[in-house]
Structure 1
Amino acid sequence: MKIAFILFNGVTFLDFVGFYDVIYRLNQFDQTKGTTWDICGVTEEVTDELGMKVKINVIKPDLSGYDLVFIPGGIGTRKLKDDADFIDWIKTAGPVKYKVSVCTGSLLWGAAGFLKDRKATTHPNVYDLLEPYCLEVIPSRIVKDGSVITAGGVATSIDLGLFIIRLFAGAEAVHVVKKQLDYPYTAVGIVEV
């Protein structure tokens, strides 16, 4: 499996890192050994809401070559949802099987038209911003509508990562990863349409 992580100026890095720290562990399991990823963006470096900088590995790739594309949230999504060039890039993910987001990353999937006939979620404080883009906003922690998976606010990124581990590597793999993370919590509010 090949994954694209989308980063941008104004990202909330916990949205990204919470998910990434779980997902990179897919290579431990026979079912998902050989998983690769790229950290993608439109510039060589991005800065989060607090000033932390991260280097981008791949600049503006054609996203159709990935199996899963993940978009985190952050205040930067508010401008990017109206940025035609950025959204055109996100639209190249059309053929990608799994479109995944946490927090306001769903606004970018929505602006690209991928939530039009789907149920989705986002950070609880901005359900109103997601409403114009999707069939229905579900006030829940994780919503899986077909192969589009959206998740709620920032800390949900860890639960979302574990959800993806379960999807691809199974329940035993989730148990292993939770022990590695010293993560004793069980996600509630998972809706599968």
Structure 2
Amino acid sequence: MKIGFILFDQLTALDFIGFYDGTTRLKTLGFKDDVTWDLCGLTKEVHDDRGITFKVNKVLPHLSEYDLIFVPGGTGTRILQYNAEFIDWLQTAKDVRYKVSVCTGSLLLGAAGFLTNRKATTHPNAFDLLQ
């Protein structure tokens, strides 16, 4: 399984790390033999909403090369949901089997058109944005 973690400025580190930690251990825990991953973004570095810097190893890869993409939440989602470059890039994951988000990451999956006719949720303060 090849995983693309989608990182962006003003993400919430906990949203990212919580999912990253568990899924990247699938191989060492004996659940999956072939787990690989990339940290993907628009730029080589992104900063969370508290100042932590993450180094991205794949800038704007075509997301169709992944089996799963993961989108964390954070205040940056409010701007990115209207960012055509970001949404166009995210839409390259249209054929990816698993599209996963945490919290307001769902706003980005929705903006990319991946939540049409699907149930989804987000942080209670962003319910109106998700609709």
Query: The TM-score by the shorter chain falls in which range?
Result: over 0.9
Please report how far the alpha carbon of residue 28 of structure 1 lies from its aligned counterpart in structure 2 after TM superposition.
2.4
Corresponding residue for residue 65 of structure 1: 65
> Structure 1 residues 62-71 or 120-129, which shifts more?
120-129
Identity of aligned residues (%): 60
Amino acid corresponding to residue 125 of structure 2 in structure 1: N
Structure 2 residue aligned with 1:176: none
1:34 correspondence with 2:34: yes
Runs of 4+ in 1 over 4 A off after TM superposition: none
Q: Secondary structure at the match of 2:79?
A: helix
Which one scores higher on RCO, CA 8 angstroms, separation ≥ 6?
Answer: 2
CA distance in 2, matches of 1:31, 1:22: 11
Gaps of 5+ in 1: 132-193
Structure 1 residues 136-161: Cα deviation after superposition (integer angstroms, max 9, x where no partner): xxxxxxxxxxxxxxxxxxxxxxxxxx
Gaps of 5+ in 2: none
CA radius of gyration, larger in: 1
Q: Distance in 1 between matches of 2:6 and 2:119?
A: 22
Q: Deviation at 1:16?
A: 0.2
Deviation by residue 1:145-193 (Cα, 9 ceiling, x = unmatched): xxxxxxxxxxxxxxxxxxxxxxxxxxxxxxxxxxxxxxxxxxxxxxxxx
Answer 1 or 2: which has greater helix percent.
1
CA RMSD of superposed structures (Å): 0.9
Give the aligned length.
Answer: 131
Instruction: Note the 1:14-33 alignment, pairs <5 A.
Output: 14-33=14-33
What pairs up with 1:45-84 in 2 under 5 angstroms? 45-84=45-84
Give the Cα–Cα distance (whole angstroms) in 2 for the partners of residues 21 and 30 of structure 1. 15
Q: Give, in whole Å, the separation in 2 of the partners of 1:27 and 1:117.
A: 33
- Scaled by the length of structure 2, the TM-score of the pair is 0.97
1:96-175 alignment runs, 5 A limit: 96-131=96-131
